[in-house]
Amino acid sequence: MSLSLYIMTLFGLAVFSYFLGLKRIRSVVAQQVTAQQRLVPTVPTETGQAPISPTDTTETGHAPISPTDTKQHSVDHFHGLFLALYVFLPPMLLIIIWQACAPFVTNYLLETQLVTIFGTLSQGALNIQIAQVKAVYNGSLAAHMVSEQTTLGVAYYARIQQTFSIILPVIATSFAVVGFMFAYRRIALRFPARRHIEKIAIWFMIAASVIAILATLGIILSLIFETLRFFGKVPISEFLFGLHWSPQIAIREGQAGGAGAFGAIPLLVGTFMITLIAMFVAVPIGLMSAIYLSEYATQNIRDFVKPAIEILAGIPTVVYGFFAALWVAPFMRDMGAALGLTLSSESALAAGMVMGIMIIPIISSLSDDVINAVPQSLRDGAAALGATKSETVKQVILPAALPGIMSAILLAISRAIGETMIVVMAAGVAANLTANPFEAVTTVTVQIVVLLTGDQEFDSAKTLAAFALGLLLFFMTLALNILALRIVRKYSENYE
């Protein structure tokens, strides 16, 4: 049985256990009600037998029956969820741990067997043999293309995988059975199933938070580690202050290549130029549209225009890239030629304009939400003082919404800095150090893609430069986020 099929089977068992838990708690409740009805005494009356209240001791002389002893603690579906989770979670945790540890165990066993077959091997030769064994086992390498000793290793590796494929379902099923028996016996009238479900949910949220933090730390540490390796080959001063970027160096003996130049200044200049052009397009249009939609437009116009603007956010960036390369750039080149200007077919201006169109929905939607969040009492107070609509917008609403608007603009800047496809198709990959928006430039993200595409070797300065650029981009966006938080904290106001 494949692992995915087994997990689906576990899920089906969990669903079945849920309904079994519902049946269990309902039967317990029914038994309790029946038992209580038998325990309630009766006294003779003129018309027959009348029940005595469970809390009345005047006729029976017995202690009253406490209502808390007969009241169900948690509703039925919490008991069903409790039983289902105890059936599903223990085997799933085992599978996750197993999948994380199994490669190390299989590699250790395979290494031991290969040393027994081949004798003493160097670490490099051993790694080659392990790769060949796994390639033959996975079918990516024909068995007749390897040695007889390697074939023996393949047979041993196949036995390991077959054994593990049998052991894992057996142990996981045992965990599910034990979890079912433990949870099924605990279901009772006063059992706090809801509290247990809430504890499990809290642990899930904690685990999700820890995973997010660890993933972020892992990304940062991997970038730092590879960047330090890069700075061991290229001086940090050359990277940060160099004016020429040409990472085309030979990555192996006999390959053609230059000496290599890793100055990041041309990339930073190109990134900031395209981002600045995009902001000149996106900020006025996005902010003005947000003001119009929130303060001037009727509800019918707003219901039509706002979704139409937000459609721009759903268009893939490759479509924007085609639009920039096939329409905007040729149009601007022809217009420049008509005016006597020389424009390149790939220019920062074309890429920046199309990128600005792409990020209009970010500024427009966020600014619209912020402006609508300004209390109506401020508008009423301005109107009471005789302010016109435009004066209210300029002197009351925009100052009150300034922190949110600035956050929207900085978020749009971060989005523009991280864009790749539009720049590749409209501005090119040439790292030119220029302030002329009519010429071709490139950005940090484009060069990361270029460095990690095609023939590469992860021990060369050319490939390691991508990690240095990634770390630089990380600090750029981090600085923008910190600036946005400081602006919000400094200018934010609380309204009652």
Residue-wise pLDDT for 446-476, tens only, equals 888 888 876 667 678 888 888 999 999 888 8
When pLDDT is averaged across residues 266-287 and rounded to a whole number, the result is: 91
- Nearest CA to 371 out of 394, 404, 395 is that of 404
The tokens of 390 are what? 């435009």
- 3-state SS assignment for residue 141: coil
The confidence band for 180, taking pLDDT boundaries of 50, 70 and 90, is very high
| pTM (whole model) above 0.95 | no
Q: What percent of the chain has pLDDT over 70?
A: 89
Q: Can you say whether residue 139 is alpha, beta or left, with left for phi > 0 and alpha for psi between -120 and 50 degrees?
A: left
The tokens of 58 are what? 């005047």
Q: What is the DSSP track for 222-275?
A: HHHHHHHHHHHHS-HHHHHH-S-EE--B--STT---B--EE--HHHHHHHHHHH
Q: How far is it, in rounded angstroms, from Cα 384 to Cα 376?
A: 12
Q: How far is it, in rounded angstroms, from Cα 85 to Cα 72?
A: 21
C-alpha to C-alpha distances, 267 to 23, 257, 359, nearest whole angstrom: 66, 21, 21
Q: How far is it, in rounded angstroms, from Cα 193 to Cα 197?
A: 6
Q: How far is it, in rounded angstroms, from Cα 294 to Cα 56?
A: 66
When pLDDT is averaged across residues 84-104 and rounded to a whole number, the result is: 91
Q: What percent of the chain has pLDDT over 90?
A: 21
CB 355 within 8 A of CB 320: yes
Q: Which residues contact 217 (CB under 8 A, 6 or more apart)?
A: none
The tokens of 226 are what? 């590879």
Residue showing tokens 């116009």: 301
Looking at residue 60, its pLDDT comes to 46
When pLDDT is averaged across residues 256-282 and rounded to a whole number, the result is: 84
Looking at residue 44, its pLDDT comes to 57
Q: Which residues contact 308 (CB under 8 A, 6 or more apart)?
A: none
DSSP bridge partners of 50 = 43
- Nearest CA to 187 out of 29, 384, 359, 417 is that of 29
- Nearest CA to 355 out of 253, 451, 286 is that of 286
Q: How far is it, in rounded angstroms, from Cα 97 to Cα 246?
A: 45
Q: Which residues contact 488 (CB under 8 A, 6 or more apart)?
A: 403, 404, 406, 407
The confidence band for 373, taking pLDDT boundaries of 50, 70 and 90, is confident
The confidence band for 256, taking pLDDT boundaries of 50, 70 and 90, is very low
C-alpha to C-alpha distances, 407 to 211, 291, 301, 314, 398, nearest whole angstrom: 27, 16, 26, 21, 13
pLDDT digits (tens, 9 = 90+) for 309-324: 888 888 888 888 888 8
DSSP bridge partners of 246 = 261
Q: Provide the residue type at 395 as one letter.
A: Q
Q: Which residues contact 322 (CB under 8 A, 6 or more apart)?
A: 425
Residue showing tokens 């893939």: 316
C-alpha to C-alpha distances, 19 to 27, 182, 200, nearest whole angstrom: 12, 17, 19
More confident residue, 46 or 360: 360
C-alpha to C-alpha distances, 298 to 88, 301, 303, 352, 373, nearest whole angstrom: 53, 5, 9, 32, 18
Q: How far is it, in rounded angstroms, from Cα 402 to Cα 367?
A: 9
When pLDDT is averaged across residues 7-21 and rounded to a whole number, the result is: 91
